[in-house]
Structure 1
Amino acid sequence: MTTEINNSTTEDIDEIFRLYRIATDFQKAKSAVHWPEFDRRMVLDEILENRQWKIEIDGKIACVWATTFSDPLIWEEKNEDPALYIHRIATDPDFRGQNLVAGIVRWAKDYAVLNRKKFIRMDTVGENKGLISYYEKCGFKFLGLSTLKNTEGLPAHYDNATVCLFEMKLD
């Protein structure tokens, strides 16, 4: 089995959106909070800026996510810290249960250090206790729940939502 982490390409955009739809359907089945239909231009920009990533297993996209080095609307004053922010992890159901988030975390540690970052951060919308526990098992500290002050420019699922914040401090 060959596993690789690479930047997503423009040829991957339909698969990325397929995985987002699957993730959204899964979220709808589990809770009231779910992802909206994401803006295709936003994802294309992430691809062109080398901020959209994929895990490929034997040539098939198993998981996708996006990164940024700035996230002021969610992290507010903490955005001043040198951090890597991970967003929108979506896994193909054929690859669930293979601990892909742990693989993302290993990759993110190296990528953050390479880019002189001291933290890896993530957020989720809604208080999903199972997801909180899973991210803690992956090495993140759960910082608690937050209500965002300004969601203008963020995807729709952030409007009037409670956000769980997660952080991993790097040595």
Structure 2
Amino acid sequence: MKIENCTTTDIDEIFRLYAIASAYQKEKQTVVVWPNFEKELVETEIAENRQWKLIIDDEIACVWATTFSDEQIWEERNADAAIYIHRIATNPNFRGKNFVLLITTWAKQYAKLNDKKFVRLDTLGNNTKLIAHYTNAGFNFLGMFNLKNTNGLPDHYHNMPACLFEIKL
């Protein structure tokens, strides 16, 4: 098992995992279903070394993205030194392995290496199962917040409260 940056050769697999995640969200009738993300978004993340993959037995088991700034979602709190995690998508061949806990452990180490004081993530709507999943992985649930400015954010951020989570290092 290893974690490394995605490359442009991973783009098709990333979008396959996003499509599977969206279908799973529809099937489970979650509060929010991921929209189709722009290819340019993922290409930029790859070029900036912010798109990650977990590889198990030469297969991508999970992908996620990171950033060091997330002003529209975190607003005033964005001034804190933090790493933000987005779009965790798991290969169905590896579902149920609690990769969120593994990613959390990795993110804490990555944050410390980059002089960050927080690991943060968000989800949308009152998805009680996902809230419990993130708190079980060590995140503190800060509550639900209406975002002031969703211009330029993916469609699923519009008209939906954001649930914010953080781990203080």
TM-score range, shorter chain: over 0.9
Structure 2 counterparts to residues 50-61 of structure 1, below 5 A:
50-61=49-60
What TM-score comes out, normalization by structure 2 length?
Answer: 0.98
Letter in 2 for 1:103: L
**Partner of residue 166, structure 2:** 167
Gaps of 5+ in 2: none
Contact 2:31 2:127 in 1 (8 A): no
Tell me whether 1:101 sits opposite 2:106 in the alignment.
Answer: no
CA contact (8 A) 2:145 2:161 kept: yes
Q: What is the aligned-residue RMSD (CA, Å)? A: 0.6
Q: For residues 56 and 117 of structure 1, what CA distance do their matches in structure 2 show? A: 25
Aligned twin of 2:44 = 45
Partner of 1:7: 5
Partner of 1:29: 27
TM-score by length of 1: 0.97
How far does the alpha carbon of each residue in 1:77-116 deviate from its partner, in whole angstroms, 9 at most, with x for none? Answer: 0000000000000001110111111110111011000000
Q: Which amino acid aligns with 2:115?
A: R
Q: Counterpart of 2:155? A: 156
- CA distance in 2 between partners of 1:148 and 1:86 (Å): 18
Which amino acid letter does the alignment assign opposite residue 59 of structure 1?
D
Q: Which residue of structure 2 aligns with residue 111 of structure 1? A: 110
CA distance in 1, matches of 2:130, 2:98: 13
Give the residue type in structure 1 aligned to 2:83: L
Moved over 4 A (4+): none
Segments of structure 1 that go 5 or more residues without pairing to the other structure are none
Q: Distance between the aligned counterparts of 2:36 and 2:125, measured in 1?
A: 17
Query: How far did residue 32 of structure 1 move?
Result: 4.1
Give the aligned residue type for 2:139: F
